[in-house]
Amino acid sequence: MKNLKQRLKQGETLNGCWLNLGSSLTAEIVGQAGFDWVLIDLEHGAGSEKDVLFQLQALEHTAAGAIVRVESSESQRIHRVLDMGAEGIMCPKITTPADAQKVVNGLHYPPYGSRGVAKMVRASGFAQNFNQYYQESRETILGVVQIETVDVLNHLDDVAAIDGVDVLFIGPADLSMELGIFGQFDHPRFKEALRETVNAAQKAGKATGILFFNPDDYQTYHDLGIRMIACGADATFVADGARNLARKLNAFRTAYKEA
């Protein structure tokens, strides 16, 4: 475990990015790049649960902690990737405190939740370390719920107060879409939603996170009090690198042709 939960509790800012190609190779490359954490995306990414296993194995010996975004709060989706060794779970489209509590129930073993017990899994060293894993998991597994619906804005304090919800993570694309101001991240209503989320999290002693698209916006979100920061994705890195190189080569070709 990379102690993401404890580091956030201590107020540290953690930098991360998305993994949405479903590739163990890009996971390993990104994991070695210097990020504190990465998000394996099962909601919108190209990979499946089977691919998650290989990505977790690739990330194990890097400095990046591995969080998995599941498709829903169904316990089976959460159990499976935790058993594979995920260090945290992100769940999208939370609308009510009951939704958030359902996520927490799936994260933890009884009496703190309803996670099913299986010893012969990767997370517990295939039964070699189950007792230790069981005792430590409540303090090491990171619970992240996404703030990206209009409804949840009416329940921020109650969601943040739930024991086991560690991070309120803003999904800017979905939230701005639901607010009717898609992509307008400077809009007063979007900024208000950010402040409300950060305030609710801080009152409860929790962290706030966000994914943004321009690294130059880092200071803006950090100054708001956001400490779990994500920018970029493996697909973006590949696409940007390929386009930039192709553009340069094509420019050289045109220049030499004209010469």
Q: Write out the catalytic residue numbers.
A: 44
DSSP state letters, 164-207: T--EEEE-HHHHHHHTT-TT-TTSHHHHHHHHHHHHHHHHTT-E
CA distances from 118 to 80, 124, 141, 142 (A): 10, 9, 16, 20
Q: How far apart are the first and last CA of the chain?
A: 58
Q: Is 193 in contact with 181 (CB distance < 8 Å)?
A: no
111 upstream amide cis, omega within 30 of 0: yes
The residue with tokens 């969601």 is 159
Instruction: Return d(Cα 172, Cα 190) in angstroms, integer.
Output: 8
Nearest to 39 by CA among 133, 114, 128, 142: 142
Q: Which residues pair with 69 in a beta bridge?
A: 41, 90
Cβ within 8 Å of residue 63, ≥6 positions away? 2, 31, 32, 34, 35, 36
